[in-house]
Chain A
Amino acid sequence: GDSVTQMEGPVTLSEEAFLTINCTYTATGYPSLFWYVQYPGEGLQLLLKATKADDKGSNKGFEATYRKETTSFHLEKGSVQVSDSAVYFCALSDAWGNRLAFGKGNQVVVIP
């Protein structure tokens, strides 16, 4: 079935550093791809999405490009802030667009 794989382990980096979180997927058909963010004590929030190959989703300085050839949707931000500390989840929708499959999530800690 459809699945999402995120890189292992938490990510700790200094303020203004470059952030990359890897995400690859396995799916039948042409899923939409998403990144969700969960701040401490809050529910998951949609960060960005891409609905077809080569689309780039962007929001709050974060970007991810839907790469069909490598089945990837890596999340990047050029200069992180302490306020970006959160858990980031990669996800895809099923072919009918009404169910989500999530990766395990990555804890990101940004140190001042």
Chain B
Amino acid sequence: GAVVSQHPSRVICKSGTSVKIECRSLDFQATTMFWYRQFPKQSLMLMATSNEGSKATYEQGVEKDKFLINHASLTLSTLTVTSAHPEDSSFYICSASGTSGGVDEQFFGPGTRLTVL
């Protein structure tokens, strides 16, 4: 099946710094990418949806200036957590869907564990 990778898998940073997480579709073109956040023992919460070449659509309550999303190509989307604080520590998961765009064609990355000290 389709493969989605994330890099890094784990990152630790100091409070106030910015962190970039990459999401790549390795063997298909992803017209739409989704970013989720997962707290321990909680469900995945959709943060934003991005279509290649256009601005991301953020879910209610997600700060767009805090979580910068770029989807510049059909195989790469990035999430930048700006001026990170300890409360931003979480597990971030991306998913990608191909030209069909349907939810059942979403392929998920393995996630990135962010720890902000």
Contacts and interface: CB of A to CB of B under 8 A. Distances in A.
A12 interface: no
A32 B103 contact: yes
Given A32-B103, A89-B44, A44 B49 contact: no
A76 to B, nearest CB: 20
A104 interface: yes
Interface residues of A, number: 23
B35 to A, nearest CB: 12
A59 B43 CA distance: 23
Contact of A97 (B32, B46, B95, B102): B102
Contacts of B27: none
Contacts, number: 55
A-B pairs, top 9 by smallest CB distance, nearest first, are: A43-B108, A44-B108, A102-B43, A102-B44, A93-B103, A104-B43, A43-B110, A43-B109, A100-B103
Interface of B: 1, 4, 32, 34, 41-46, 49, 93, 95, 101-104, 106-111
Given A36-B108, A43-B111, A103-B43, 12 more contacts: A4-B43, A43-B95, A43-B107, A44-B93, A44-B95, A97-B102, A97-B103, A98-B49, A100-B34, A100-B103, A102-B45, A105-B43
16 contacts: A32-B103, A34-B103, A43-B107, A43-B108, A43-B110, A46-B104, A49-B104, A98-B32, A98-B101, A98-B103, A99-B46, A100-B46, A101-B43, A102-B45, A104-B42, A104-B43
Interface of A: 4, 32, 34, 36, 38, 41-46, 49, 89, 93, 97-105
